[in-house]
Chains A and B, each alone.
Chain A
């Protein structure tokens, strides 16, 4: 590495088994921190068993999920659930700034690795604990995963199309509850790292609360109006703002923005419709959405999402194409910004994945690959002052 990146000099021990904690560690690693993924010996981190796999081959070195969430990290195998392993871990803590963990509340304490214990090794230590519901409270021991946490966090209830508000709610795609928590964990961790007070702290983040915190304004809907929305209210956001409609090759989003709905008449090549009440008055559209749809759908069906978007954008309409994951690599903006990056991996050959979350002019984000299981064990244990003999002993006992 050599070069100075944003977080070069920061050392992190990443014990995370799930997406949120691993993603927090990934962000730290990609911005330059030395992040050591501490994995159980033999089978390794549980994310190594998660799809997608390279060529669908279920192999611990071929999980795209593990790869993506562990780029730029180092891998150490260490069984921290055994006393000798825990002792080695404490040695590593002495020279580290941050520990990330996502075990059930109380587990770290059981292994003698509670924050109070670790703080004895390093008074300035920041420990970031991510659990589904936090370290205390009535749901502390509840079981959860991305799907159930998203529901109880309050986000799911509003996930219904505006045209069919009484249908079954649908979860936001992928693992958004977990990624959300990971990003918040990163911010909390970095705040503690850059804090002018320079004190150690234990961060307790709950995935449920992470989800709820993203709901912002719609929380005020209840505490100011008594409103619990179950979809998007047209009376607040307008119609067709936020609607996705079918076109020739997929779907397009119709958000008029500053162009105004009357510009839709120009878009569909019917300038004579500019004064049509359906385009002039929000109330008319809301009252009879199907009439508005009848006006615009035939034209949409004859044009592609990019044709519609390009023409609409010229009219200052904020329309946008609904792009599939497969269309992203060809998107001209993505290309021009070199957003996707490509790295070599010993088992997966060439891997392409989404790159920098932000472009930093002086200390750029950098691509990298995920480590092989235990790839850096020797190097890390040596740096902790363990002799070859110590390491061999630990190996024989299955600790590393």
Chain B
């Protein structure tokens, strides 16, 4: 029997795109019941239309096939409901009445304008926990700024300290800021659940993505508040460690991170490189000297690393107790023996047009000794209308039909024609390519996750 830690906790999920859905996916991985609400007029567009299986948008129901949507919304239930209609609001309130948590990522004011702000919801369900997630927070002079992950990261100080000194400041490139916002929202929701368990009281929670990110560079901020020192971006250099760099390896675009923490590791590295003379070289004989002469040091080390395969080299370095991590590409992540053996990927069957695909966990922690719980596939649009409206809220099938006719709910969202991802442009971007397309990826995945991967 799969063990659901948060079994019985019901979350009304109004979030869309990236940030919020990551937070609610995490709660779904923990076994909470997540009811994702989408408007038939405004479905969760971007993720639903991005990464169609094998880059072929299906002719029918193209809104149900996006890979991003599948990953971000596994384990959730999906319903449709137009909150701009009176009936939609009424039904929403009924749903809130039987739920524990409401999570939303609308711009500040939207929920209040809909008449569905915390004060209203509290009247219906006094102990409701409502989590509002936004870029800069729900009050303050800049609360209405248009914010995406870019602004949240850019205004947090994190971007300023990231990247090489001779290049512009670098964003995370993988929506880390969005992850921070959604996941901090999930963390806050669980914090409030504990308080409710003790006191019976619900509450309103205001999460600002930018602030959530600042908290993750607290030590950098403190160097400023304690010493007035502003950290500048320095690539991969570390003020306390050298070698501490991402080194080129043999093969195209292949890299390894090596970070030597002490003399023992340094001596082991010199031996492994066959350059024991470096140990006594005054330029490198102490950590301080190595930090100072890191550019020269890095050149010497890269000469050596560039003759080796990054994965083999990692094994060799680790055998000598030297912290080294091959810089894995997404392909390598999917084929990584450690992640596979630990069960990081779960094979989830998405049914027609998609088949089984490995889906990464959003809650990577394992609960030892408890039967692991694999989330169900992401819901099809409005898939759980009947369960939620009839079973949970006690409506009749006739009422459901009427709501459909009145367009309060609907099973067909307003959705543009599906388009493939322009992999050809990605491969040519900026002359060098924004990524690599592996034509044999399904075979690779089948070798690891089973022959039935992606059998449609």
Contact = CB atoms under 8 A, between A and B. Distances in A.
Contacts of A161: 163, 167-168, 170
Contact of B236 (A147, A155, A233, A258): A147
B328 interface: yes
A159 interface: yes
Ranked 6 nearest A-B pairs via Cβ? A224-B67, A226-B441, A148-B325, A320-B151, A173-B161, A152-B325
B296 interface: no
Given A172-B162, A174-B216, A360-B191, A352 B225 contact: yes
A154 B341 contact: no
Contact of B341 (A138, A143, A220, A236): A138
B212 interface: yes
Contacts of A320: 145, 147, 150-151, 154-155
A165 interface: yes
29 contacts: A6-B194, A10-B194, A52-B219, A64-B226, A142-B323, A154-B328, A168-B164, A174-B217, A183-B184, A187-B190, A188-B363, A194-B193, A201-B369, A203-B365, A206-B342, A206-B364, A212-B339, A220-B51, A220-B359, A229-B426, A232-B173, A236-B421, A244-B154, A258-B146, A322-B160, A325-B157, A333-B136, A333-B137, A358-B206
A163 to B, nearest CB: 6
B11 interface: no
Contacts of A40: none
Nearest to A179: B216
A2 interface: no
Contacts of A172: 158, 162, 172, 176
A196 B7 contact: yes
B57 to A, nearest CB: 12
Nearest to B165: A170
Nearest to A178: B216
Contact of A139 (B137, B173, B233, B338): B338
A222 interface: yes
A325 B221 CA distance: 6
Given A188-B363, A318-B150, A321-B154, A228 B236 contact: no
A359 B206 contact: yes
A325 B156 CA distance: 7
Interface in A277-325: 286, 289, 313, 316-325
A262 B58 CA distance: 32
Contact of B172 (A65, A136, A159, A210): A159
Contact of A255 (B50, B150, B341, B432): B150
A55 B50 CA distance: 50
Given A161-B168, A325-B230, A242 B53 contact: no
Interface in A149-175: 149-175
A137 B369 contact: no
Interface in A67-88: 67-69
A286 B218 CA distance: 37
B396 interface: no
A87 to B, nearest CB: 24
A1 B398 CA distance: 56
Contacts of B330: 154, 157, 215, 218-219, 221-222, 227-229
B421 A203 contact: no
Interface residues of A, number: 162
Interface in A3-42: 4, 6-10, 27, 31
A201 B370 CA distance: 8
B435 A51 contact: no
Nearest to A187: B187
Interface in B45-69: 47, 50-55, 67-68
Given A143-B321, A318-B151, A339-B214, A171 B18 contact: no
Contacts of A163: 430
Contact of B434 (A179, A231, A259): A231
A191 B6 contact: yes
Contact of A217 (B172, B175, B357): B175
Contacts of A356: 211
A373 to B, nearest CB: 19
A197 B6 CA distance: 8
Contacts of B169: 244, 251, 322
A363 B164 contact: no
B6 to A, nearest CB: 6
Interface string A198-240: 0001111110111011111111111111111111111110000
A55 B223 CA distance: 9
Nearest to B171: A242
Nearest to B172: A172
